[in-house]
Amino acid sequence: DAGVIQSPRHEVTEMGQEVTLRCKPISGHDYLFWYRQTMMRGLELLIYFNNNVPIDDSGMPEDRFSAKMPNASFSTLKIQPSEPRDSAVYFCASSNRAHPSGANVLTFGAGSRLTVL
Amino acid sequence: SQQGEEDPQALSIQEGENATMNCSYKTSINNLQWYRQNSGRGLVHLILIRSNEREKHSGRLRVTLDTSKKSSSLLITASRAADTASYFCAYSGAGSYQLTFGKGTKLSVIP
């Protein structure tokens, strides 16, 4: 398996533009998580899905952020309109509830570094 | 915020020395995990310790957990330059599946 695949790896955009980040989780994983990482706030959970259904979106900063998971192999995180304070690294991670440990062991993608000018 | 705290925030050691990082958390937990993040990369799972365990080993890694003090430590023995990275603890609260991450310890191992 190629692991969790995220695109784009880097995105530079201007304030007000729409940004779409993409994620392909590991095949067979039934949970998908979107995290945001900044120096000031560390890693923040934005939203997570179980079997393509959003379970908890309480970490989504505001209505400008939305996430979808139309099928088991694809998820998007959209920011519209983008603002400079959205600049961060956005990580997608997936996990399998049937992990031998019974715990939520995450496999992360390489991240999408977003810069909003 | 229920976010965990690691200390120190940064640690610089010579190759061959041991590195110890600590994590404190605020809630009851099911398990605690440690992840490593190399610069510009995603996080990688290192080791997991359950709430009913006190110590766990994996290669050069040793993790301890003290649930009465709500703290954990990660020891890396005989450090190598390749261990240079940021290390994060992460935990699930009782009854919860989502992970909360600490702010991390940045480890620099000098050759």
Rg (CA), chain B: 13
- Closest-approach residue (CA) in chain A for B98: A104
B47 vs A: CB within 8 A: no
Q: Are A80 and A67 in contact (CB under 8 A)?
A: no
Amino acid symbol at A36: R
> Rounded to whole angstroms, how far apart are CA atoms B111 and A113?
30
| Pick from B45, B102, B103: CB nearest A106 | B45
Answer yes or no: do B48 and A56 touch at CB < 8 A: no
Output the six-digit token pair for A60. 């989504």
Sort B24 into a burial class: Cβ within 10 Å, 0-12 / 13-18 / 19+: middle
Q: Could you tell me if A114 and A19 are in contact, meaning their C-beta atoms sit under 8 angstroms apart?
A: yes
Query: pLDDT tens, A32-91?
Result: 999 999 999 999 999 999 999 999 999 998 899 999 999 999 999 999 999 999 999 999
Whole-Å CA distances, B6 to A34, B105, B111: 22, 6, 24
Opening angle at CA A24, ends A59 and B83, nearest 5? 80
Encoded tokens for A86: 């959205």
pLDDT tens per residue, chain B (111 residues)? Answer: 456 688 899 999 999 999 999 999 988 998 999 999 999 999 999 999 999 999 999 999 999 999 999 999 999 999 999 999 999 999 988 777 888 999 999 999 999
Instruction: With beta carbons under 8 A apart, name residues in chain B contacting A105.
Output: 33, 45, 48
Closest CB to B43 among A31, A56, A108? A108
Min Cα distance A105 → chain B (Å) is 7
A42 inside 8 A of chain B by CB: yes
- Contact yes or no for A21/A35 (Cβ under 8 A): no
Which residue do the tokens 């989502």 mark?
Answer: B98
Q: Which residue stretches of chain B are H helix?
A: none
Best probe of the A interface among B101, B105, B106, by most A CBs < 10 A, is: B101
- pLDDT, residue A101, reads 72
- What residues of A are in contact with residue B48 (Cβ under 8 Å)? 101, 103, 105
